[in-house]
Amino acid sequence: MVFVLAITSLLVILSAAVVFCISPGKVSHEAKETAKIFYGLNCAHRGLHTKDLQVPENSILAFEAAVERGYGVETDVQLSKDGQVVVFHDENLKRMCGIDARVSSKSWEELSTLKLHGTDECIPLLTDALETLGDTPLIVELKPVGASYRELCEKTLKIMQEHGKRWCIESFDPRIVRWFRKNAPEVLRGQLSRPPKNMEGISYPPALLLGNLLTNFISRPHFIAYEISRYPLTVKLCRAMKPMNFIWTMHPEHDIKKYEKENDTIIFEFFKPAPRFRR
C-alpha cells in the first residue's frame, strides 16, 4: 500500500512538473491585437519563392510576389560580421550563394555583392525587406548564429518597432523567446519546434527538451509553431492548453483542410492557397 501511494505521488509530481514546463504564456492585451491579424492567415515561407529558386527564397522578388497575392510572410534574420540585420536562412552561404562561409563571417559590404542562387537577386537587409513588405503581416524568425542572441534581439526589435504592429517573432532558441518575454511583452512571440529526431545540429538531450516543448517555462510563448508531423504527447498537451498554433511548412501534398481546422496560422510553400482560410 505504501509503495502504491509512493508511486502515485511520484506520478502526480512528475505530471505537474511536465505541465509546468510545457504551459504556454498568456497573451498580453497589446499582443492580442497582433494575434487577430494572424488568425486564419496563410503565410508564404521565406516569401513566395519557387521550388527551382528562380524566384529565390528570402529575396525582394519573393516578398513582392507574396505582397501581390495578399499573403502574410515568414522570413529569417541573423547578424552579419559587422552587426547588420540581414535576411537569410542558412548559417552557411553555400546552398544559396555558392560560397562555403558563414554569414556571420562576412561584413554587410561583402554579403551585399553576393547573388542568390545564380539570379540577379541579392541578400537584403531587414530594413530593405520591410520597405517592400509595407504593412504585410510578417513572422520574423531570429537565428542567433555566430553572434550574441541579445544583440540580434535588440537590433531586430528596434527595426521592427518602426514597422507598426503587424508582426511577430519566433525562434527555435528559447532564450530569444524569453528575451522578448522580458523586454517586449507586447510583441507576439512563438516557440518554433519539431520532433527531436528532426532537430538539426543539436545534440540529443537539448533536442529532446526542445522537441517536446519542455523549455516553454523559460519563454512562455504565445504561440507554438510546430513542424507538420506526428505530435509528441507533450505537444498535444500543450496544444490542448489553447495557445495560438502555427504549422510549418505546408506543401501541396498535405491535407490542407485538416490542418486548417487544427491551426490558427499556416506557413506554406510551393503552391498558392487563398490568402486566408478563416476569418
Number of domains making up the chain: 1
Residue linked to cell 499573403: 71
Question: Of 122 and 203, which is predicted with more confidence?
Answer: 122
Instruction: Flag whether 189 is in a domain.
Output: no
Task: For residue 5, give the C-alpha cell.
Answer: 501511494
CATH code of residue 154 = 3.20.20.190
Say whether pLDDT at 146 is over 80: no
Mean pLDDT of the 46-66 span = 97
Instruction: Flag whether 146 is in a domain.
Output: yes
Instruction: Flag whether 218 is in a domain.
Output: no
* Confidence band, pLDDT 50/70/90 cuts, at residue 14: confident
Q: Which residues are catalytic?
A: 45, 89
CA 49/CA 126 separation, integer angstroms: 17
For residues 177-194, one letter each, b for 16 or more C-beta atoms within 10 angstroms of the residue's C-beta and e for the rest, the string is: bbbbbeebbebbbbbbbb
Mean pLDDT of the 207-229 span = 97
pLDDT at 200: 86
Say whether pLDDT at 221 is over 80: yes
Tell me which residue range forms the domain holding 166.
33-170+243-268
Mean pLDDT score across all residues of the chain: 94
Task: For residue 202, give the C-alpha cell.
Answer: 543539436
Contact 173, 190 (CB under 8 A): no
CA 150/CA 67 separation, integer angstroms: 30
* Confidence band, pLDDT 50/70/90 cuts, at residue 5: low
pLDDT cut 70: percent of the chain above it: 96
For residues 139-171, one letter each, b for 16 or more C-beta atoms within 10 angstroms of the residue's C-beta and e for the rest, the string is: bbbbbbbebebeebbebbbebbeebebbbbbbb
Instruction: Flag whether 228 is in a domain.
Output: no
pLDDT at 28: 87
Strands 85-87 and 72-79: antiparallel
Work out whether the CA dihedral 234, 240, 242, 248 comes out positive or negative.
Answer: positive
Contact 140, 153 (CB under 8 A): no
CA 90/CA 179 separation, integer angstroms: 22
Instruction: Flag whether 88 is in a domain.
Output: yes
* Confidence band, pLDDT 50/70/90 cuts, at residue 180: very high
Residue linked to cell 522580458: 182
* Confidence band, pLDDT 50/70/90 cuts, at residue 12: confident
Strands 41-45 and 85-87: unpaired
Helices 126-133 + 149-160 axis angle, to 10:
30
Say whether pLDDT at 121 is over 80: yes
Q: What is the pTM of this model?
A: 0.95
Instruction: Flag whether 200 is in a domain.
Output: no
Say whether pLDDT at 10 is over 80: no
Instruction: Flag whether 7 is in a domain.
Output: no
Query: What is the maximum span of the chain, computed from C-alpha positions, in angstroms?
Result: 74
Instruction: Flag whether 192 is in a domain.
Output: no
